[in-house]
Amino acid sequence: MARAPEGGAREGGNYTPGDRKPTKASLILKLISRSQGATIEQMIEATGWLPHTIRAALTGLRKRGVVIERQKGSALTTYIRR
């Protein structure tokens, strides 16, 4: 079994055992909660996920009761939490 790095930090960041690393789903929720919302491209950049994974995560948030509005512009679609 691999040993944890010194100081109790887990791989991927300096988190102590009591800390919780933010999830990518919570990051998406934070992005779409902004007044201007977020585009798929912004969510991809923030999470490193592929577009179909972002859309699946948005569907998962909708199933959990989050109201998400989709606004289509001339070139981009923006997702905003309502």
Instruction: Give me the CATH number covering residue 63.
Output: 1.10.10.10
Q: Which residues, other chains included, contact 81 with Cβ-Cβ below 8 Å and sequence gap of 6+? A: 29, 32, 33, 37, 66, 67, 68, 69
3-state SS class at 69: strand
Q: Is residue 32 part of a domain?
A: yes
3-state SS class at 24: helix
| Structural domain total, the chain | 1
7: left (phi over 0), alpha (psi -120 to 50) or beta: left
Q: Is residue 51 part of a domain?
A: yes
Give the pLDDT confidence score for residue 69 in this predicted structure.
94
Eight-class DSSP state of 11: T
Closest among 82, 81, 73, 21 to 57, alpha carbons compared = 81
Q: Is residue 29 part of a domain?
A: yes
Q: Is residue 5 part of a domain?
A: no
Give the pLDDT confidence score for residue 8 in this predicted structure.
46
Give the pLDDT confidence score for residue 40 in this predicted structure.
95
- Rounded to two decimals, the pTM is 0.71
Structural domain span for residue 30: 23-81
Kindly list the averaged pLDDT for each block of 10 residues, start to end, along the chain of length 82: 50 63 88 94 94 95 94 88 90
Q: Is residue 2 part of a domain?
A: no
